[in-house]
Structure 1
Amino acid sequence: MIARTARLVVNLAVALAVMTAALVMGAGTSHAATRAQIASIAEAEVGNSESNGGCKKYGPCTTTPWCAYFASWVWRTAGVSPVPNTAVARGVGLWGQQQGLFSARPAGGIGNPEPGDIAVYGTPANASGGHVSIVTAVHSNGTITTIDGNYGDKVARRVIDPRTARSGTDSLLISGYVKPKGLNAANGDLHVLTTVGGQAFHNMRYANGSWSGANVSDPSGAITDTAEAGASNGDMHVP
Structure 2
Amino acid sequence: MQLSIKRLGSMGVAAALAAASLSLLTAGAAQAATADGIAKTATSQLGSGPCGNGGKGYYAPGSSQSNSCSGQAWCADFAGWVWAQNGVKNLGGLNDLASSFKTYADNYDGGLSSTPHVGDAVFFHPNSYSGFEYDHVAIVTAVNSDGTIDWVGGNQSGGIVSRNSHMPGNVGANEWTNHGYSVNLQGFARPVGLQTSSLMRLDTVVAGNAWDNQRNTDGTWTGASMIDGNGTISQTATAALADGTFHVLTLTGGKVYDNQRNRDGSWSGAGLVDSSGSITALAATGMADGTMHVQTVVGGNVYENQRNPDGSWTGAALLDGNGHVTGLAAEALTDGTLHLQTLVSGNVYENQRNTDGTWTGANQLDGNGHVTAMAGEALTDGTLHLQTLVSGNVYEDQRNTNGTWTGANQLDGNGNITAISGTGLADGTLHLQTLLWGNVYENQRNTNGTWTGANQLDGNGNITAISAAGFLK
Q: TM-score, normalised by structure 2?
A: 0.30
1:96 to 105, 108, 111: 105
Distance 1:140 1:81, change over 3 A: same
Alignment size in residue pairs: 161
- Superimposed CA distance per residue, residues 187-214 of structure 1 (whole angstroms, 9 cap, x where no aligned partner): 79xxxxxxxxxxxxxxxxxx688xxxxx
Contact 1:48/1:54 (8 A) holds in 2: no
Q: Distance in 1 between matches of 2:175 and 2:55?
A: 24
Residue equivalent to 1:121: 124
Residue equivalent to 2:176: 166
Q: Distance in 1 between matches of 2:83 and 2:140?
A: 12
Contact 2:87/2:193 (8 A) holds in 1: no
1:65 is aligned to 2:76: no
1:184 is aligned to 2:195: yes
- Superimposed CA distance per residue, residues 167-222 of structure 1 (whole angstroms, 9 cap, x where no aligned partner): 7775420100000111224279xxxxxxxxxxxxxxxxxx688xxxxxxxxxxxxx
Greater percentage in strand? 2
Q: Distance in 2 between matches of 1:168 and 1:74?
A: 26
Residue equivalent to 2:152: 147
Residue equivalent to 2:94: 85
Q: Distance in 1 between matches of 2:194 and 2:51?
A: 34
Q: Distance in 2 between matches of 1:149 and 1:42?
A: 9
CA RMSD of aligned residues (A): 3.5
Q: CA deviation at 1:53?
A: 8.3
Q: TM-score, normalised by structure 1?
A: 0.57
1:135 is aligned to 2:140: yes
Contact 1:130/1:171 (8 A) holds in 2: no
Q: Runs of 5+ in structure 1 lacking a partner? A: 1-25, 105-110, 189-206, 210-230, 233-239
Q: CA deviation at 1:52?
A: 7.2
Greater percentage in helix? 1
Q: Runs of 5+ in structure 2 lacking a partner? A: 1-28, 59-66, 200-379, 383-456, 459-473
Q: Distance in 1 between matches of 2:135 and 2:56?
A: 21
Residue equivalent to 1:34: 34
Contact 1:165/1:173 (8 A) holds in 2: yes
Structure with larger Rg: 2
Q: Distance in 1 between matches of 2:35 and 2:142?
A: 10
Residue equivalent to 1:75: 83
Q: Distance in 1 between matches of 2:55 and 2:36?
A: 22
Residue equivalent to 2:115: 112
Contact 1:113/1:177 (8 A) holds in 2: yes
Structure scoring higher RCO (CA < 8 A, sep ≥ 6) equals 1
Identity value in percent? 29
Contact 1:129/1:171 (8 A) holds in 2: no
Distance 1:74 1:168, change over 3 A: farther
Q: CA deviation at 1:61?
A: 3.7
Amino acid at match of 2:174: T
Contact 1:49/1:154 (8 A) holds in 2: yes
Q: Distance in 2 between matches of 1:157 and 1:75?
A: 17
- Superimposed CA distance per residue, residues 30-54 of structure 1 (whole angstroms, 9 cap, x where no aligned partner): xx21101001100111010148786
